Structure 1
Amino acid sequence: MIWGRDELEWSGLVDGTSDFLAERGRIRRTTSYTELNSVLHRRTGARSFDFAKDSERAAMGALLGEVASRNLSEVGALVSSIVLYLNENDAGSGFYRLAEELKLLTPKPTADQRLIFWANQVKATYDYYS
C-alpha cells in the first residue's frame, strides 16, 4: 500500500498526474490541487483525495513529488510548479521542500528567491511541453 492506495491504483494516479500536467503545460496553463483531484478521480476511477484530512493532503503532495522527480531529467523542471493552491498564485510548501532536497534551490531561500525559482520552473515546464 502506498498512501492508502494499492500499487496499481497509485501507479495509475502517477501516470494520470503526469499526463494531465503535460496537457496543462502544452496550453501554458496552471491548475489547482482541486482541479487535479477531480480530473484524477474522473480519469482513473480512483477515490478522490480528501483534503480535509492531513494524511490525504500529504498523499497528494507525495504524488506530486513523485511525478516531479520522475519527470525532472526529461523536462528539466519540476512539473508540479504548475499546480497551485485554489485562488493562490504560488506552489505549495512541498514544492519548495522538494526543490531544496533535490538541491535545485538553496536551503532557507528568501521569499524573492522562492518566487524567482518558481516562476523559472513554470516557464521551463511550459517551454518543454509547448
Structure 2
Amino acid sequence: MAAQSLTYGRTADEWETLVSETTTFLEERARLGRTTTYTELNAVLARRTGLREFRFEDASERAAMGHLLGQVVERDFPTRGYMLSALVIYLGGNDAGSGFYVLATQMGLFEPGGDKLAFWTGQLKGLSGHGAS
C-alpha cells in the first residue's frame, strides 16, 4: 500500500472533508448574515468532522487554516462571486485577516493599497443572506 502524501499533516481525504464542511458552515453563517471567528470555525470543524483541531499557537497550523480557507474560496468563488472567507475574523477583531486580502489581490479582486474596509464590507454584503448557491 502506497503512503498517502500529507499536506500540513493531513491526508487528501481529510482536506476534502475540511473544505466541504468549512464551506457548509460558512454558507450557514452567510444565510444568517453573521461572521464567525477562526476559533469558532476550528471548534465547529473538529466537532462536525471528528478531525483534530488546528493548533493556532503553531505557525504552521495557522498557515494550514489559511490554506483551508483559500481552498474554500478557490472552489466556491466561481459560482458565488464572493469570498466566503470574508466571514472569518479574529476573535475580538473587526475585519478579515491579512491572508484574505492577499488572496483577494492574487485573484485580481483587490488592489494593493486599496480601501480594505470597503472591500471587506462589500464582500460581506454580497454574502449576506445568500449562503446557498
TM superposition score normalised by structure 2: 0.92
1:63 partnered with 2:65: no
Equivalence map 1:1-130=2 (5 Å): 1-106=6-111, 108-110=112-114, 113-129=115-131
Give unpaired runs (5+ residues) of structure 2. 1-5
Aligned length in residues:
127
C-alpha distance in 1 between matches for 2:32 and 2:48: 19
Q: Please state which structure has a larger fraction of its residues in helix.
A: 1
How far apart are 1:69 and its partner, in Å? Answer: 1.6
The ranges of structure 1 where at least 4 consecutive aligned residues each deviate by more than 3 angstroms after the TM superposition are: none
How far apart are 1:128 and its partner, in Å? Answer: 2.7
RMSD (Å) for aligned C-alpha atoms: 1.1
Contact 2:27–2:130 (8 Å) recurs in 1:
no
C-alpha distance in 1 between matches for 2:129 and 2:81: 10
C-alpha distance in 2 between matches for 1:115 and 1:8: 36
Residue deviations 1:12-63 (CA, integer Å, cap 9, x gap)? 0000100000000111110000000000000001100000000000000000
How far apart are 1:109 and its partner, in Å? Answer: 1.7
C-alpha distance in 1 between matches for 2:25 and 2:130: 14
Task: Tell me which amino acid in the other structure corresponds to 2:72.
Answer: V
Contact 2:32–2:129 (8 Å) recurs in 1:
no
Whichever of the two has the greater Rg, that structure is 2
In structure 1, the residue corresponding to 2:47 is in which secondary structure? helix
